[in-house]
Structure 1
Amino acid sequence: MFIYEITLAVLLALFVIGGIASGLFYNLLYVYLLARLVTEGVRLYLAYLHGEFLFENWPWTDVHYWLPNIVRSMFFIVILFFITDRFIAFQFPPSTAAWIKTQMVILTLMSIALLWIPTVRVNWPQAIVMGSGCFVIIFLILINKKTHFDNAITLRNPLHQPALILSAGFSPLYNHHFFFKGQRYAADLIAVEYNRNARKQKELSAFTSFGMPLYAPISGEVVATYFDYPDQEIGTTNAEMPVGNYVVIQVAKAQFLLLAHIKHGSGKVAVGDWVAEGDELAALGNSGNTGEPHLHMQVQNHVDFRQVTQTFPIYFKSEGQTVFSRYKVVLP
């Protein structure tokens, strides 16, 4: 039984670390809630086989009973908060979105309830991992709350209509680029207006963002462009040239704004052009290493993406405010 508990604790630790490192933390948390009911069922079944239930003498006053269960319950509450807070509801029909959220609440409450069924053995290894996970997650949230950087760049929404930040921020919980030094403060954007059936149709034209005009989010000189890579069909990528078609604008000394995954042949500017904020640059596409049409943006310390050693924090202007975090909407 103890080996089973140690194994689950190790798997949970790898799960949390892998989720944060891969940028799939929120997706994996939802899967974890589903899998958790199965693992708890196995644990309770093994406890039943070994006669380890304590229903007749409920150990309410035993610190070895309530302390680890409080810690583990906190872990599930934190999970529920993050999943529901970062849930992209507009990707689903309203009824489906509501059901998914309700499902997550039910799964979390069921998982917490199962924790409190008293057994002889207390899963301290798992409680320690869960408690540590709570502190790590809260720490990463606090990092993302930092609102002042001396070298930050403030940009305008390049879509000229409400845009959703798919990935951005100052913590790996919010930005899957964070662990890549050459992309650490990058941001991915799509149009808020979203065709929920686009992925099923597997046609670029089905994606609302595809072909949408892109406008200069800041004034500067165009120092590099490329528009000849084909747009990738859904399900394919170009890993050899991950940025695909692009426009690079120099916004300050040793600071270059990269707009990547641009549509093939859509360029409206050339090297040497001076663009003012709001000038049309090209169209949003699906070129390079991308799963679906979106705009990748970053301010970097070199013109060439392959030679970047530093990126700079990005803020977006949105109706007099600045936003920077994942799943926030940037207004025109």
Structure 2
Amino acid sequence: MTTLAILELFIIQLILPTVFIISLWKGNFPSKLNWLTLVVFTVLFTTWQFFSSSWDWFSYYLRFIMMFFLLLSTYSSWKKVHSLPFRIKFNRSQKMSLSFNVLLLLVFGAYNILTFSGFTTKDDAVELDFPLKNGTYYVGQGGNHVLINYHNAYASQQYAIDVVKLNKFGIRAAGIYPEELDNFFIYGEQLYSPCTGIVLKVRNDLPDLTPPDADSENAEGNFLNLLCEDEDVNVYIAHMQKGTVVAKEGERIQKGQPIGLVGNSGNTSEPHLHIHAEKNGVGVPIHFNGRFLVRNSLVW
């Protein structure tokens, strides 16, 4: 991830919502209608960020702090406008401001609808065991829409999830985007087989790369392809650490059996677990303990 991309994330995720919340708190409104359009837009924008942004970069808990200040600013601003008329005869500037706010709330209303549509699926899911233990794990990519899961654009990986580990402050790494792999809390975590089945294919000899380096020619990196017996699906666990994949091709392994360590091999921006399931080359949803995991889901 480039410095520019990190800066864009910081502006969109933190700076803009803060500016809109402060504008709501401190603003002077000629009527309740002006206030209402800004409230609705700010709520929709902040809600979209709350659900669709990846919050492991700056802290998972910041999203709740932001929503608290949104509620506080809404209440505070209402006390200033409750005695105003609902609408007035607007001048040209006020009409333009009102129209712009209406346009923005329609846009971000649509974004929210699309985001929420990704929280469920009508496709039949397979039940697997979560392949990580002993930590707080965060879903950075997951769900049934590209706004919360970029894998959704690719048929074979449409329900894939990417997982990192959070510390007690809700952050995935020591630093914003460190080069040292050990500074990512998930790096080197033990992985366990999500089902009982036959190992179809293994790769184990690719190097762990220094972020943001990636190997697009070997997208999976070091990986394990497992045919799960109970569910009759192919499960891929990718980006594993070099030399740690202990399963062999043709071997039958048991659910919960150690299979290797989380690494940073292949086409990956940083250490994480990638897992997806396929039937006949088409991605199928996964349930872990009955849950369909989406972006911002936590697993303990």
User: Which category of TM-score, normalised to the shorter sequence, fits these structures?
Assistant: 0.7 to 0.9
Alpha-carbon distance in structure 1 between the residues aligned to 2:59 and 2:147: 26
Partner of 1:74: 40
Q: RMSD in angstroms over aligned alpha carbons?
A: 4.0
Is residue 209 of structure 1 aligned with residue 186 of structure 2? yes
TM-score, normalised with respect to structure 1: 0.67
Q: Deviations 1:139-165 (Å, cap 9, x if unpaired)?
A: 224423436532x11221111223221
Matched, 1:297 2:275: yes
- Find the partner of 1:284 among 262, 278, 281: 262
Cα distance, 1:200 vs structure 2: 5.6
User: Of 153, 156, 166, which aligns to 1:192?
Assistant: 166
Shift of 1:316: 1.4
Task: Choose 207-216 or 185-194, whichever is displaced more.
Answer: 185-194
Aligned to 1:161: 134
Aligned residues: 273
User: Residues 159 and 191 of structure 1 are in contact (CA less than 8 Å); yes or no, is this contact kept in structure 2?
Assistant: no
Structure 2 residue corresponding to 1:313, chosen from 275, 285, 289: 285
- Identical residues among aligned pairs (%): 21
Which of 7, 12, 26 aligns to 1:28? It is 12
Between Structure 1 and Structure 2, which shows a larger proportion of helix residues? 1
Distance, in Å, in 2 between the alignment partners of 1:59 and 1:71 is 10
SS in structure 1 at match of 2:17: helix
Q: Distance in 1 between matches of 2:194 and 2:100?
A: 47
User: CA separation in 2, counterparts of 1:26 and 1:198?
Assistant: 14
Does structure 2 retain, via aligned residues, the 8 Å contact 1:268–1:282? yes
Distance 1:86 1:141 in 2: 7
Aligned mates of 2:114, 2:276 — CA distance in 1: 21
Instruction: Mark the CA change 1:25 to 1:279 in structure 2 (over 3 Å): closer, same or farther.
Output: same
User: d(CA) in 2 for partners of 1:284 and 1:160?
Assistant: 12
Structure 2 Cα separation of the partners of residues 128 and 102 of structure 1: 21
Deviations 1:156-212 (A, max 9, x none): 111122322122112333223222333211101122335642556521122221111
Could you report, residue by residue, the CA deviation over 1:101-144 in whole angstroms, capped at 9, with x for unpaired residues? Answer: 389749986xx99xx99652323663453233243234224423
SS in 2 for 1:177: helix
Instruction: State whether residues 76 and 108 of structure 1, in contact with CA within 8 Å, keep that contact through their aligned partners in structure 2.
Output: no
Is 1:240 the counterpart of 2:217? The answer is yes
What amino acid is aligned across from residue 250 of structure 2 in structure 1?
A: G
| CA separation of 1:160 and 1:177: change in aligned 2, threshold 3 A | same
Query: Residue 216 and residue 170 in structure 1: after superposition, are their counterparts in 2 closer, same or farther (change >3 A)?
Result: same
Q: Which amino acid aligns with 1:101?
A: M
**Are the aligned partners of 1:261 and 1:288 in contact in 2 as well (CA < 8 Å)?**
yes
Gaps of at least 5 residues in structure 1 are 1-18, 45-52, 61-65, 303-307
